[in-house]
């Protein structure tokens, strides 16, 4: 419905361009975002109904467990969502499918929070 893997790749690229420059997020990520973006592509492909790319290569996503080593605060979740919304807008995702996707991103971002804001 969104254009398949090509659209997800464009979304991931637009997203990590923002994350890598965001002062509230960039310290959570490695300087080279290539591997991180590839994993995000595989995960989002799977998350939105495509082939199980992430699970085939890395096992069950276990998102919360994989993110526990990092301080994910409500503020950082908000920043993350802002980057995702901007990326979605940049690549032209709109309408009911974009609304659905963003709602899923909101749920996931809130689920990842593991540390209070300071």
22 is in an annotated binding site: no
Helix/strand/coil percentages in the chain, nearest 5: 70, 0, 30
Going by C-beta distance under 8 Å and a sequence separation of 6 or more, which residues neighbour residue 93?
2, 7, 11, 101
* Three-state DSSP state, 95: helix
What is the C-alpha separation between 93 and 77, in angstroms, rounded? 21
Nearest CA among 94, 106, 4, 90 for reference residue 50:
4
Angle at 71 between CA 52 and CA 89, to 5 degrees: 55
Q: Which residues are annotated as a binding site for heme?
A: 110
Which residues contribute to the annotated binding site? Answer: 110
């Amino acid at each position: 419905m969104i254009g398949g893997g090509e659209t997800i790749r464009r979304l991931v690229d637009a997203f990590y361009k923002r994350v890598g420059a965001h002062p509230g997020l960039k310290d959570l990520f490695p300087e080279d975002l290539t591997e991180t973006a590839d994993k995000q592509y595989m995960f989002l492909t799977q998350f939105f109904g495509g082939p199980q790319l992430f699970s085939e290569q890395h096992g069950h996503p276990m998102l919360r467990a994989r993110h526990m080593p990092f301080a994910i605060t409500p503020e950082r979740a908000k920043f993350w969502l802002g980057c995702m919304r901007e990326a979605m807008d940049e690549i032209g995702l709109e309408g009911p499918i974009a609304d659905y996707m963003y709602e899923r991103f909101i749920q996931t971002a809130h689920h990842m929070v593991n540390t209070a804001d300071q």
